[in-house]
Chains A and B, each alone.
Chain A
Amino acid sequence: MAKMMYRDAIRNTIFQEMQRDERVVVLGEDVAGGMGTAGGPEAIGGIWSTSVGFYDAFGPDRVIDTPISESAIMGAAGGLALAGKRPVAEIMFADFIGVCMDQLWNQIAKFRYMFGGKSICPAVIRMPCGAGYNAAAQHSQMISQFVTNMPGIKVVMPATPADACGLLRQAIRDDDPVVFLEHKFLYAMSGEVPDDPDFVIPFGHARLARAGQDATIVASGMMVSYAETAADDLAQDGIGCDVIDLRTTSPLDEEAILDSVEVTGRLVVVDEAPPRCSLATDISALVAQKAFASLKAPIEMVTPPHTPVPFARELESAYLPSPAKIAAAVRKSLEYR
């Protein structure tokens, strides 16, 4: 084990996979940085510092610094994957999915199915996402609701440095396209990461982050640490919560959710995306359909309101779910008779 930040876990995992498998290539805006400038290549190493040193180590063929052209990045990732490479593309902010949706949704996601299973598309699309930096409406969004809805795409939302490592390695070695949603606010999170260069976390298996008998809290990405804080606060009052970290929203570990709700009878779903047609509503529907008899109270959803992400500190704080809002939702559920 080594202690490192979430961003370094991501950087090191890609670096190791590039050393291990020459088919792995990186592409995106400023993944080297400084191309065509006096500062020269490697002036940046990715604006999230997730590809520092890559250009020097692997050169321009495998560290493809692109113009600001998200559709071309996404499409080229698809073409590289169809041609036998294992591209790891960075869309600098997940919000830019709007610029390149066709290449993800109509192309990469569908190749395997449309072509009758006769192709694979092992492309990893890294999308730094989420709020918390007062980056306003076009640089702060959670987009899990769009990509989880796309058949053919696997969707990963790591909540810890160790998970970022194990899930990213799985993503790179996976034969299906993967959208890897890195929460920007987690980049500086520190944690223990296994040294094993083959450490992978299989998709579709949730992590039980906290265990308790009274309520189930389901969360993903940054919301997991909020849910953990809420659960720890509630534990002070003798209220025990299961905190289920989904890890991957597609495939979804239905069993982990249902098993927990069958014990607790109370469900709080936390989601950073807007409140309609989202993971929160999807998981609520799942539990209502498959664990209805176990429910002792209405399902609670903790989500932002149905607005764009606001800029001002006070407004963004009000917008986002928080440990206090999650704890309040658990208490509301427990008070239901």
Chain B
Amino acid sequence: MQLNREALTRAYRQMKLIREFEERLHEEIQTGEIAGFTHLYCGQEAVAVGVCEHLTDRDKIVSTHRGHGHCLAKGCDVEGMMKEIWGSQDGLCNGKGGSMHIADIDKGMLGANGIVGAGAPIAVGAAISNKIDGPDAEGKLAVAIAFSGDGACNQGTTFEAMNLAVVTKAPAIFVFENNHYSEHTGVDYAVGTTRDIASRAEAFGMKVWRADGTDFFAVYDTFREVLEYVRVPGNGPAAVEFDTERFFGHFEGDPQRYRGEGELDRLRAERDCIKIFRAKVGGAALLDEADLDVLDADALQQIENAVAASRAAARPSPENVLDNVYISY
């Protein structure tokens, strides 16, 4: 836990921003104002933030259907994202993508993705591009990260991508967020191995790490090691598995009949990365409760503003359907 006060503040602010973003969406979706499918990242914030706090805009990430946390952590504009989810013409993707297709290429965010497992090959392509560009003045490569859940680790695309990354020695990092549920199915059933997901990556010839994904400091410190390794030209890819928790259903509206009795309450009480963060920084007297409360209020206000702006934002016009295609018939 070598983080200074500024870095800790930033990390907490980011985690809290994601939490409030998702909690608010959970409420707003029930009013029917937001269209479509939404998959919330609530509970996994420490992973996105613990990873992305190390990255620069040169580093790329490819996200998943559960992508809001990765987008925010990589620096996508909060208001632009909220407007996009609201389907506004002023959204980050002009209302063309929605929750599952948020992207901001300039920030190195190459897209959330509606297809489970589709992101890994794209990330490997971006990693090969980084390898071609070569190391910076300090001799380090930019990396590309494929965020994948335990569900995506069963897709052939993920396997192909891992092998291609190893073969080409691409600076790719496969971040497996094991939240124990592939949609509505348990990881013990769906991931057919007596060992863990990281072991699968290891079998492809990669160096792998594992950490508790509910502990920001474990994620942050582990990922620093992963990154230091992959940034060295010639080392090739690596993988890391984070054990984490999903506080909501697969999608908003999921009745979650697969959950055990009291499971969600227990997860919220014992496996909440934000509570764990607060306890750790409080215990070490790094940030006091009052500091954190101020950050909480800031995050809430930012979300409040983003929602208000989204409600008031310009709606697309029917003719916008034909924007951004090279031809229409």
Contact = CB atoms under 8 A, between A and B. Distances in A.
Interface in A71-122: 71-85, 87, 102-103, 106-107, 110-119
A106 B121 contact: no
A170 interface: no
A118 B103 contact: yes
Contacts of A221: none
Interface stretch (A40-48, A60-68, A156-164, A205-213): A60-68
Interface residues of B, number: 46
A107 B122 contact: yes
Interface residues of A, number: 44
B118 to A, nearest CB: 6
A87 B125 contact: yes
The CB with the most chain B CB atoms within 10 A, among A87, A115, A117, A151, is that of A115
A118 B105 contact: yes
Contacts of A80: 125-126, 128-129
A60 to B, nearest CB: 8
B95 interface: yes
A169 interface: no
B121 A75 contact: yes
A118 B93 contact: yes
Nearest to A176: B326
B222 interface: no
Given A72-B164, A102-B118, A115 B103 contact: yes
Interface in A148-185: 151-152, 154, 176
Contacts of A102: 115, 118, 157
B186 interface: no
Contact of A111 (B111, B129, B164, B168): B111
A62 B132 contact: yes
B219 interface: no
Contacts of B144: 79, 83
A233 to B, nearest CB: 34
Given A72-B157, A72-B160, A114-B97, A107 B167 contact: no
A250 B129 CA distance: 29
B102 to A, nearest CB: 8
B96 A114 contact: yes
Interface in B144-192: 144, 156-157, 160-161, 163-164, 167-168
A97 to B, nearest CB: 15
Contact of B110 (A61, A64, A83, A251): A83
Contacts of B126: 79-80, 82-83
Contacts of B324: 112-113, 116-117
Nearest to B95: A116
16 contacts: A25-B132, A72-B121, A75-B118, A75-B120, A75-B125, A75-B157, A76-B161, A77-B125, A79-B60, A79-B124, A83-B60, A102-B157, A103-B118, A116-B95, A117-B94, A118-B103
Given A79-B124, A82-B126, A113-B96, 14 more contacts: A67-B164, A67-B167, A72-B157, A75-B121, A79-B121, A79-B122, A79-B126, A80-B128, A82-B111, A103-B121, A114-B101, A116-B91, A116-B94, A119-B103
Interface of A: 25, 61-62, 64, 66-67, 69, 71-85, 87, 102-103, 106-107, 110-119, 151-152, 154, 176, 204, 250-251
In the A-B complex, the 3 residue pairs with the smallest Cβ-Cβ separation, listed nearest first, are A75-B121, A79-B125, A116-B94
